[in-house]
Structure 1
Amino acid sequence: MAKNYPAFVNATSAVSKILEKIKVAATPDRFTQDYLATELGFPGGGARAFIPLAKKLGLLGSDGTPTDLYKQFRNTNAATSKAAMAKAIKNAYSDVYARNEYAHSLSRADFEGLVVEMTGLEKGNGTVKAIVSTFESLKAFAEFKAVDAEEPIIAIEKKLSESASNEEYPDVRLGLSYTINLVLPKTDDVSVFNAIFRSLRENLLRK
């Protein structure tokens, strides 16, 4: 029976090259094998595995249509592009992040150890190497600081939304007030703080 391993492609060297081409090429109506071969210049069989990977990442829909995340990745603003890839990685490797929510911060050796633990394969196995190399190739295009900063705020907003939608007492209108204490990360990256306060404004302070 086939194992449900974390996302990977065997031709890991192609991942970075394809992503670089995606950033400069026009967004297609559908990302097909023909587009990959003729427009991006990757006709080889090994590169074809990129499309299933891109679907797991959430860059492509099930029919190959580029998603909003795909378009955000192509954004010429580096912060937007890298944040999009960080979200894509968390989409594709949700099983890994269930084990370690800071998997992207692990060293290559520690990440390999996590993969060995999850898959039951031995260290040095070809599949383990492919999983690790694929993850590392994707991670080179990502920045997780802003995404990590947004997630706690989004979680708070979700809980508040769920409470507000509770229909146990449909005829009762409650006036609620709440206090949110933020522990800001130690960073000189202004984009992190911008992301935090933007999320507060958009998700919690709107009427």
Structure 2
Amino acid sequence: MALPEQYLLTTKNLDVFFNSLLNAKAPSKFTIKFLEQLEFKSTNDRLLIGVLKLLNFIDSNGAPQERYFQFLDQTQSRQVLAEAIRTAYDDLFAVNKKANEMTANEVKNKMKTLTQGSKSEKVISWMANTFTALCKYADFTRIDNNLINVSKEDPRVEEIHFEKNSPPLTRELISKNINTEMHYNIQIHLPETRDITVYDAIFKSLKEHLL
């Protein structure tokens, strides 16, 4: 298992940073210069660019991605961030489905296990603090509420997890019990022969064993 290498040395300005993104026009390329225009001029603030790459808000060259533009819609900003966190820290969520609810110390202990001691105590602390700060700003409730129970009565049907914006047809199909039928297509290559009894024997055997 692997965890993201990007982290912040301090998270005290993280909320302000995200709010600044919401109030600014997305740049053609997210650069240090643009970061400074947002009034984040400390060298430590430059690590925020790495976090945006981690969350797939921008690509490796700094170009804003679809998730960045979705985030700018303030009606869904915190949900978009929650989805980005789940994707970026999928290994952590694999260990605990509610990793976003863990304390910084609990996250730190899980990360120690996942990194198998390859990170120093200080780095693990920065990684854990970054994760918990991101989760604090994000809104996971709408994502968690998308877990539905298709049927409590049919033991064959398990709980299904889908996105809130799933197409209506998908939801309709999920909500119904679907009977599965299996069809077999058997191909028989008959030998070349003029002896009709050979064919008779083959079809007689098919009738006895398959039909």
Q: Give the Cα separation in 1 of the matches to 2:52 and 2:94.
A: 20
In the TM superposition, what is the alpha-carbon distance from 1:76 to its structure 2 partner?
2.2
Taking the TM superposition and a 5 Å limit, the aligned residue runs for 1:92-171 are 92-121=88-117, 125-150=121-146
What residue number does 1:62 align with? 60
Q: Give the Cα separation in 2 of the matches to 1:53 and 1:202.
A: 36
Q: TM-score, normalised by structure 1?
A: 0.67
Q: TM-score, normalised by structure 2?
A: 0.65
What residue number does 2:168 align with? 201
Q: Which runs of 5+ in 2 are unaligned?
A: 151-155, 174-211
> Which stretches of structure 1, 4 residues or longer, exceed 4 Å deviation after superposition?
179-184
CA RMSD of aligned residues (A): 3.3
CA contact (8 A) 2:57 2:66 kept: yes
Q: Give the Cα separation in 2 of the matches to 1:151 and 1:93.
A: 20
CA contact (8 A) 2:55 2:84 kept: yes
What residue number does 1:71 align with? 69
CA contact (8 A) 2:79 2:138 kept: yes
Q: Which runs of 5+ in 1 are unaligned?
A: 157-178, 185-194
- Report Cα offsets for 1:126-156 as digits up to 9, x if no partner: 1122112111221122111222344779xx9
- Report Cα offsets for 1:69-125 as digits up to 9, x if no partner: 112222121xx1111000111122122123222211223332222122223449x92
In the TM superposition, what is the alpha-carbon distance from 1:50 to its structure 2 partner?
1.2
Identity %: 23
**Counterpart of 1:96 in structure 2: which amino acid?**
L
What residue number does 2:188 align with? none
